[in-house]
Amino acid sequence: MHTIIIGRDGAKRHLPVLLRARRSPRFAHLFAEHPVVLCDGDAAPPARADGLVTARTIEKAAALVDPARTVVHLCSPAGVRPAALEELAGRGFRWIIVEEPLALNVQELAEIAELRRSRGLELVVQARWQASALTCRLGRLVESGSLGSLLSVEIVQDEPRFSTPPETGRSPAVFDVEMPHSVGVALCIAGSATVVEAEWNGPSRAGGALPGAGSARIALEHAVGVRTEIASDLGASVLRRRLVLTFTDGYATGHYPVAEDGGHAQLTIAAGAIRRHLEIPDDALTAFLTRTYRGFAREQPTAAEFAMHTDVVRLLCQAKSMSVPRQQLVEVPRARRPADIGSAVH
């Protein structure tokens, strides 16, 4: 398969992973020998590297590849994708990866779904944590029943966000950053669900806070009776990606790698007095991209996966409508004496 990457986020995240995979004997058969085409509008291209060429527009990028055998990484932000998908379809492209979330609202979701249907597009959403070795291990743990029946899932995904993404010119909304990944993982582990609770707390920083950021919580009730609690904080001091699965006979606590380009996941499994800790090699983005390229090369249908991601968008839209924002900026008074500091800490 040939490759076109559209958007600055793709150049930052997808490109290094793809170039590394193309050099690997394990995955080299998935990729054409033609260089990756990076299409980033008017932005300055990165330093030239082997296996990479740049194009300013989709039209010029399309002239460099065979559209019928090309995977397009559409990494422009949600909210502006329908027009890009329309142009790509008009130029013969069919195999497309988009960033999560698939859409920001039900109107955009409907536009994308109609384009997919009418233009014969095969759309896959970049959901690396669903391809993660940790997620797969937890899924097998649920299916095995070795810890009894699954009762609840708790997911915490905190990511410090203190600047406006340059590709959007707007501040991120807490429901659209880490929440889509978490909701998708919850659906993979416990199946279909509905939103039963949702809340959003505005930023706690008095200066330079990002509108729509802050923290949020969603509670899902799955059809099988499992309850999932998801929390995310864009004002957190550190990056955190944790899952806790509680079973009738034990629990499992997992931590995804912090690095974007892989690393090791941590998994602790406890049953009674027996506790086991595992370190799992987990390069989730490489696993996702190579799996997707393999499926595209074999022309495997993507309908089931697309349907799951439409469910993610609908659940998040429902959570947004249910949540009551509380935009209260909390400013801590400056302590003037050591006694004041002690009182504040207490």
SS (H, E, C) the chain: CEEEEECHHHHHHHHHHHHHHHHCCCCHHHCCCCCEEEECCCCCCCCCCCCEEEECCHHHHHCCCCHHHEEEEECCCCCCHHHHHHHHHHCCCCEEEEECCCCCCHHHHHHHHHHHHHHCCEEEEECHHHCCHHHHHHHHHHHHCCCCCEEEEEEEEECCCCCCCCCCCCCCCHHHCCHHHHHHHHHHHHCCEEEEEEEEECCCCCCCCCCCCCEEEEEEEECCCCEEEEEEECCCCCCEEEEEEEECCEEEEEECCCCCCCCEEEEEEEECCEEEEEEEECCHHHHHHHHHHHHHHCCCCCHHHHHHHHHHHHHHHHHHHHCCEECCCCCCCCCCCHHHHHHHHC
Structural contact between residues 148 and 247, judged by C-beta atoms closer than 8 angstroms: yes
pLDDT in tens, 230-254: 999 988 888 899 999 999 999 999 9
Rounded Cα gap, residues 282 and 264, in angstroms: 5
Q: Is residue 9 part of a domain?
A: yes
Query: Across residues 125-152, what is the average pLDDT?
Result: 96
Are 70 and 104 members of one domain?
A: yes
pLDDT in tens, 3-21: 999 988 888 889 999 999 9
Are 162 and 308 members of one domain?
A: yes
Q: Is residue 333 part of a domain?
A: no
Rounded Cα gap, residues 72 and 58, in angstroms: 10
Are 165 and 249 members of one domain?
A: yes
Are 71 and 154 members of one domain?
A: no
Are 115 and 147 members of one domain?
A: no
Q: Is residue 346 part of a domain?
A: no
Are 176 and 104 members of one domain?
A: no
Examine the fold and report which residue of 94, 109, 126 is the final residue of a domain before the chain moves on.
126
- Structural domain including 18 reads 2-126
pLDDT surpassing 60 at residue 338:
no
> What is the pTM assigned to this prediction?
0.86
Cβ partners under 8 Å of residue 2, min gap 6: 32, 34, 37, 65, 66, 69, 70, 71
Q: Is residue 334 part of a domain?
A: no
Domain count, the chain: 2
pLDDT surpassing 50 at residue 171:
no
Q: Is residue 110 part of a domain?
A: yes
User: Which pLDDT band holds residue 261 (cuts at 50, 70, 90)?
Assistant: low
What's 77's domain CATH number? 3.40.50.720
pLDDT reported for residue 50 = 65
Rounded Cα gap, residues 108 and 114, in angstroms: 10
Examine the fold and report which residue of 126, 151, 174 is the final residue of a domain before the chain moves on.
126
